[in-house]
Structure 1
Amino acid sequence: MRKDQLHVKIFPSIFYPLLFLFLGTYTANAQSVKTDSTSHKKYVSVDVPKTYERIIAKGYESLEMFDYLGNYYYKVNDLEKSKTYFDMLFKRYSRSQISKKSIEIYNIIIELEKSKKFISALD
């Protein structure tokens, strides 16, 4: 057997197990397996905001992801992150593509920012 043929046979046998180990560890951070208390069935819980943020960080983006993250962070009272994602949403897409709910929430966040600046100017 030639040396280059031996290399081709050894490489997949080492590479693929390491690849599966790495991917299994990587995806485990965004989801967890839980058991239902009544039926004792297993289900997977996925952290959607964390997953969307990783996808956006890699350069992929969509109207739905920005919309979801802006609304999610507004509901959990993280107005800075909410405004960040709404800013990205309004910068990349036209108002006709954005839901009315998101437009209303974005306007509320802008008004809250203006009132905070006004109050800080009084102090």
Structure 2
Amino acid sequence: MTLKKNLSVFFIFSFIVLGTHNANSQTVIYDSISKQKVALIDVRKTYERVIDKGYASIEMFEYLGNYYYKDKDFQKSKLYFDMLFKKYKLSQISKKSIDLYKTL
């Protein structure tokens, strides 16, 4: 992997781990079988916070664009797809995201 990709992965992992401490983006429940705590992390909120702080990746923009498209929030979907297509080359973006963007 390239240095740029390694840094992206590092930042994504770091902010996901740091984001688990925010009560707004996670819910703690107890597993019914093992009776251990399990944290349910809201990936959407975590990715949005990471992007707001200036860190981003293709995967984050695609995830958010696809998430909001499926949720029928086409305005937010277009927002994240616009960011994706402005920042990255067409050859780097998945065919699914390209197809969804064309429908907006």
Give the TM-score normalised by structure 2. 0.74
Q: For 2:49, which of 41, 46, 54 is the aligned residue?
A: 54
**What stretches of structure 2 of length at least 5 have no aligned partner?**
1-17
Alignment of 1:77-96 (within 5 A): 77-96=72-91
Q: State the number of aligned residues.
A: 85
Structure 2 distance, partners of 1:73, 1:98, is 17
Distance 1:69 1:87 in 2: 11
Counterpart among 96, 100, 107 of residue 95 in structure 2? 100
Amino acid aligned to 2:22: T
Given candidates 69, 82, 89, the residue that maps to 2:64 is 69
CA distance in 1: counterparts of 2:72 and 2:35, whole angstroms? 34
Structure (1 or 2) with the greater helix fraction:
1
Q: Percent identity?
A: 62
- What SS does the corresponding residue of 2:22 show, helix, strand or coil? helix
**CA RMSD of the aligned region, Å?**
1.6
What residue is the counterpart of 1:31 in the other structure? 26
Give the superposition deviation at 1:79.
Answer: 0.7
Query: Residue 29 of structure 1 aligns to a residue in which SS?
Result: coil
Structure with more relative contact order (C-alpha pairs < 8 Å, separation 6 or more):
2
**Letter of the structure 1 residue corresponding to residue 28 of structure 2:** V
TM-score of the pair, normalised by structure 1: 0.64
Gaps (5+ residues) in structure 1? Answer: 1-22, 110-123
Greater Rg by CA: 1
